[in-house]
Structure formats: C-alpha cells, structure tokens
Chain A
Amino acid sequence: MDLEIPAAAPAKPTTAAVAAPVTFAEILKHPDIAARFQQVRRYFFLRESTYDMTSRCNVRCDGCYYYEGDKQNAVDNVNATAWRDLFRAEKARGITFVVLAGAEPALVPELLEACYAEIPLGAIASNGLVRIPESVGYRIHVSVWGNDATSERVRKAKRMLERQMEIYAGDPRAVFVYTFTRENIAESRAVVEPLAKHGCKVTFNMFSATVGYQGSLTHTPESLAETRQTMLRLLADFPEQVLFSPYSAAAHTDARSLHNLYSCPYPRQNQGQFGLGRTFRQYHSDLTWVREASCCVPDTDCADCRHYAAGSAIVTARMNRHIGSADQFRSWLDYVDTYLAVWVQGYAKSPNLCAVPVSPSLALQPEANR
C-alpha cells in the first residue's frame, strides 16, 4: 500500500469563488474532534526539561548526539542528594515532566529514583541493555537502530535487540524506538515484527545528524520517501503495537527539517519568553545548563533535525498552524495523541482520526508558503 501525501494547497486562492475560512469553533463542532481535543488538552500542563544523568555509557554508537559538543566533558555529579535538591527546585519552578538521558541513564539508578521521588511524570532514554528498577515508574524508551548485525556494526554491541527484548518485553513502561537511518530502512519489518509479536510497543524516530557529522547514516530525499512509506505500512500492519500516525510520518520525513517546517520553540532557536523558550532547560551531568544551547537533543544539526523528541514539542506547540481545515486539525490531534502515548506512562493511544497524511507544508507560516 502506497500512501501519498497530498500536495499542499496554494497559499493564495486562484478563483473568485472562495469558501469562507473555517474557524476554530467550527472545527470543534465535529464530535470526533471535540472529544479528542478534550482528551489531549488535559495534558497541556506538561512542561518539560531534560537532564543528562551521567557521561558514562556501556556502548558507543556511531552518530551518538551525547558524545558531541561540550556536554560530554561535564564532571558527573553522582550525589543523589544534590540531584534530589535539583528536582525539588525544578518542581518548584513549574516543571511537570522530565526527560532523563545520558549518555546511559540506566547506569545511575539511584539518581533516577531521586528524580522519580520528586516528579512523577517523565521518560528515560536508554539503550535498554541494563534494566531500570521497577521503582522508577517512568516511560522507558529503548533505542533500536536496526537488527542485531547492524547494531553490532553501528553500536559496537552484540545481540542487542535480543538482549533488549529479554529485559523489556512485557514491561509496560517500555516503548521501543526504532531509529530510521539511511541504511536500515529495509531491516525495520524484521525488527518490528518480533517486537509486535512479543507485545512490545514501538514508535519511530529519524536519525538526525549531529553538527559536523560525516558518517553514512544521514538521510537523503530518496531515503526519506522510502522511510515514509515503510512507516505507513508498518503502522497499517501493526496498529495495536505501533504508536504513530500518518501525520507523524509526514512531518518527520519531509525534505525540510522540523525547525524549517515549524520553527523550533526550544531556547537554542527561540530566546523568547513564551512557552518552551521561557521554561525549558537542558541540564548537563554536573547540574549546569546553558540557555543558548538548550534543546531536547543538543548538538543536533537543526537543518537535519527530525528527531521524535523534537517533534513532540515542535509540532505540538504549533496548534495554531493546524486549523486550516478539520482534517488538518485531526492530523495535529493524531500527532499529539501519539506523543502522549509515547511519552506518558499510562496514556493509551487512540485510533488515528485522519488516515491519510496531511502535508506539513500546510502548517508553514503564510509568508513561507510559496
């Protein structure tokens, strides 16, 4: 099944008879839209920051964003009390959702527990090779970059998927995050199928080059298109296990990066005092943070960023650009519903409202829509 993304409508109408633009209130009159909007807006209170818990890792992956830039040089603070004080202060300033990353956060379980004791909502980005104790009730994102042969080549780890499944199959916290690179598109079915058979939840990420990356994993226009079709087929074939939507596929495989499509709201690109620009911080493992560098996946090349973590904030923040039609808003709701299922432990994904991918071009700022 090939699902093509409809071409974006022209920015200016070319005929005299023009339908009156639809209003947000009119869009909300559709019962399916109204119900889903009320469901997702309960989570509008989520306000995130991210925390690198340790500079240590048990594998070494080609293209790893952690081992780029200055953050890898931080001297780790291993004091659980210091981390607990930090999370108390974070809660006091209004942070309601934490993303714990690394290098490999599973190597410091006592720090994860210190966080969970203060802020109950969050997610951990892990390579899945060391079990995170059940006492830490966050979502756990297990990163998968292909089959075991690919993982051995790219991540220098043997039997990686096999070991990840041994540890996390059946764990309700776990979501396996398959990162599509230019080289592993064809392997994805052979990875998703066994995960689905074991009842594992799966979502998709896009390899996004770090600044200055020269390796072979970066996407091309051809690999983006092939990835989009593959994502849509896997979503159609495994609807209960794959946490994704047609619009998610369209947004993350567009020729333009997420920043170029939607304008990234993180401080690294947005020094304003509204939304994430005001509240988001990206802490290093020594408890320091740099506002100008702060984003969800630091040291990524913004011109290539299609990261699932970035999209969760970027696309969600642009609700106002998705009210051109009822289907466009349905697509946005599907995207938000997907991100909540991926990131919030206990949130169940609902059936997608919009079966056909809407073009992300429709969400461009009017002056950019040529």
Chain B
Amino acid sequence: MSQTQNGSMERRIAEILIQELKLENITPDTFDASCDLVKELGIDSMDLTTVVLVLQGEYKVKFDEDSYPTLTTVHAIADQIRQLQGTVS
C-alpha cells in the first residue's frame, strides 16, 4: 500500500471511490493510491466523472475538464486537488 505524508486526503478519496462506485473487498486503508483506476479497476469515464463531482463539492474546487484524463490514480487526484487549493508547496 502506498501512502504519502498527506495520507488523509488520499484516504478520503479512496473512501469516496469505494462508496460511489460500490467497490467490494476493499477498504480505504487497503486501497492502493498508486493503482491505475481505469486499467486495473476498470473504472469508466462516467464513473470517474461522478467521483470528480463529489470531490468538487467536498473540497470546494473545480476540476478542469481537460485534466480528467490525468486523474488515473488516487495520488493523481489528490495532487490535483492540492494544486487547485493552492496548497502544493
């Protein structure tokens, strides 16, 4: 399992992914934040869009549509949120 110093955001993103997409046999703590959501979990573009919309509300940010293709892992999503929030050092 891959974690970062800011693991709480990654964990919350994993929680939302599991909840929204009804993923089974996985918990926020066992979710691999480097796992490719499309290639390894088979998440399609509409499901990803659903998750993005929930995250926008949760973190008060707005993802650019052009960034959607880059949101392939939990880490990538978290990094994008931090950038949008201006919290990336």
A273-B69, A274-B69, A320-B65 as given contacts; A44 in contact with B56, CB under 8 Å:
no
**Interface segment, one of B26-34, B41-49, B77-85:** B41-49
Verify B69–A44 contact, CB threshold 8 A.
no
Inter-subunit contact B69/A24 (CB<8 Å): no
A26 touches B57 (CB 8 A): yes
Q: Does B2 contact A (CB under 8 A)?
A: no
- In the complex, the answer to whether A317 meets B45 with C-beta atoms within 8 Å is yes
Q: Is A221 an interface residue (CB 8 A)?
A: no
Bitwise, B50-61 to A at CB < 8 A (1) or not (0) is: 101110111000
Q: A25–B46 contact, CB under 8 A?
A: no
Check: A323 CB closer than 8 A to any chain B CB. yes
A272 close to B69 (CB less than 8 A): yes
**Separation of A47 and B54 alpha carbons in the complex (Å):** 23
CA distance A275 to B52 in the complex (A): 14
- On chain A, the residues within 8 Å of B57 by CB distance are 23-26
| Contacting pair B65 A23 (CB below 8 A) | no
**Chain B's nearest CB lies how many Å from the CB of A326?**
14
Question: How many B residues touch A, CB cutoff 8 Å?
Answer: 16
Beyond A24-B56, A24-B57, whether A365 also contacts B65 by CB under 8 A is yes
What residue of chain B has the Cβ atom nearest to residue A44's Cβ?
B46
Q: Which residue of A lies closest to B47 (CB)?
A: A44
Cβ < 8 Å to B, chain A residues 44-59: 44-45, 47
Contact of B54 among A24, A41, A275, A276 (CB under 8 A): A24
**Residue in B44, B46, B63 whose Cβ sees the most chain A Cβ within 10 Å:** B46
Expressed in whole angstroms, the minimum distance between the Cβ of A277 and any Cβ of chain B is 8
In angstroms, Cα B63 to Cα A24, docked, is 13
A316 to B45, CA, bound (A): 11
Q: Which residues on the B side are within 8 Å of A74 (C-beta)? A: none
Q: Is A3 an interface residue (CB 8 A)?
A: no
The A315-329 residues at the B interface (CB cut-off 8 A) are: 316-317, 319-320, 323
- A320 contacts which of B47, B49, B58, B69 (Cβ < 8 Å)? B49
With A274-B69, A320-B65 as given contacts, are A44 and B53 in contact (CB-CB < 8 Å)?
Answer: no
A272–B47 Cα gap in the complex (Å)?
Answer: 18
Q: Do B45 and A24 have beta carbons less than 8 Å apart?
A: no
Leading 4 A-B pairs by shortest Cβ distance: A23-B57, A275-B45, A274-B69, A44-B46
- The residues of A with any CB-CB pair to B shorter than 8 Å are 23-26, 41, 44-45, 47, 272-276, 316-317, 319-320, 323, 365
Chain B: residues with CB nearer than 8 A to chain A?
44-47, 49-50, 52-54, 56-58, 63, 65, 68-69
